[in-house]
Amino acid sequence: MDRLRAFEVFATVVGRGSFTRAADALDTSPANVTRYINELEAHLGTRLLNRSSRKLSLTESGEALYERSKSILEEVADAEALASSATLQPRGRLRINAPVSFGIRQLAPLWPRFMQAYPDVELDIALSDRVVDIVEEGYDLAIRISRTGPATHAARKLATSRNIVCAAPAYLKKHGTPQVPADLAVHRCLGYTYAATANEWHFVDEEAHSHVVKVNYVMHANNGDTAREAALAGQGVIWQPAFLIGEDLREGRLVPLLPGYRMPDIDVLAVYPSRRHLSAKVRVMVDFLVEAFKAAPAWYVPPDAAVPTAAPAPARRRRVK
């Protein structure tokens, strides 16, 4: 059995939704299509398709093989193009995973430009704040917001974002303004579920001394915009990257806190399985993103920039009886 041909037949049957339409697309007979599917199922020892008189449906094994078959066929097409042409044209489906808020705010405006430049690349964008296994889950590329790069995959840095602790003016008027990190222990804080440090917030002062404070959360959220909305409503103190809250800081809707103390910066990374055998579609996407973020973004805060801070809350007068 020609396994590569069998994968092609199987993927075409699934994509076209029938044996007959697949046979037409492959310029062969329905009997040949049926033979390839039967031989593939026998070789793998499992059923791939549930057949009925009206429609086809994938089994669990069929779903897994379908995704991998498409990737294999795309890689074979890339290899053939590389062998037959000095210039490989990027094409095929490109699966990208990115965080929700960053994907909507910073990446979504870029995709039309990429699509216009590379019309033969089909973008498949999935947004999730969960850290995915790009190999296990079949992604070609992931955008990560991280303080440290990946241990097992290749990565290129796109930008750096400053993390800033802040709160709404209404919250500070009611609860006062923290002056040192330790003050946060008595404040209402809004947490990010996927933060590596849980309820410990880490700071470094101007003399490079480390400060760690355990905060009390009144809300956890697995998405930065959710925590941001609560902060804008005066419900607590948050730390978030500048790409998410930069405009709020400039417009005064949120006020940066703790002058003289900084949280560690985070990098925006393009992560992919390996630098070896990098497909053309991944290579051009990474280069495109590097160029798009080459100039300091509007939300970027240089490491040595002074950030304005809120004035301390006025002291309350004690009543004298």
Burial zone of 305 (CB within 10 Å; 0-12 exposed, 13-18 middle, 19+ buried)? exposed
Burial zone of 153 (CB within 10 Å; 0-12 exposed, 13-18 middle, 19+ buried)? middle
pLDDT, tens digit, for every residue of 182-229?
999 999 999 888 777 778 899 998 888 999 999 999 998 888 899 999
CATH 1.10.10.10: which residues of the chain? 3-84
Spatial distance between the Cα atoms of 297 and 159, rounded to a whole number of angstroms: 8
> Averaged over 242-251, what is the pLDDT?
91
User: Is the confidence at residue 230, as pLDDT, over 70?
Assistant: yes
Under CATH, what is the fold of the domain 3-84?
Arc Repressor Mutant, subunit A (1.10.10)
Nearest to 105 by CA among 248, 304, 253: 248
In this prediction, residue 150 carries a pLDDT of 59
Burial zone of 40 (CB within 10 Å; 0-12 exposed, 13-18 middle, 19+ buried)? buried
Name the least confident of 39-48, 70-79, 93-102, 280-289.
70-79
CATH 3.40.190.10: which residues of the chain? 92-158+267-292, 163-264
Nearest to 1 by CA among 42, 31, 39, 57: 39
Spatial distance between the Cα atoms of 204 and 163, rounded to a whole number of angstroms: 12
Superfamily of domain 163-264: Periplasmic binding protein-like II (3.40.190.10)
Secondary structure class of 199 (helix, strand, coil): coil
User: Does the predicted TM-score (pTM) go above 0.75?
Assistant: no
Higher-confidence residue of 78 and 266: namely: 266
In this prediction, residue 270 carries a pLDDT of 93
Q: List the CATH code of the domain at 92-158+267-292.
A: 3.40.190.10
User: Is the confidence at residue 320, as pLDDT, over 80?
Assistant: no
- 154-161 and 266-272 as β-strands: parallel, antiparallel, unpaired? antiparallel
Q: How many CA atoms lie within 13 A of 163 on its CB side?
A: 21
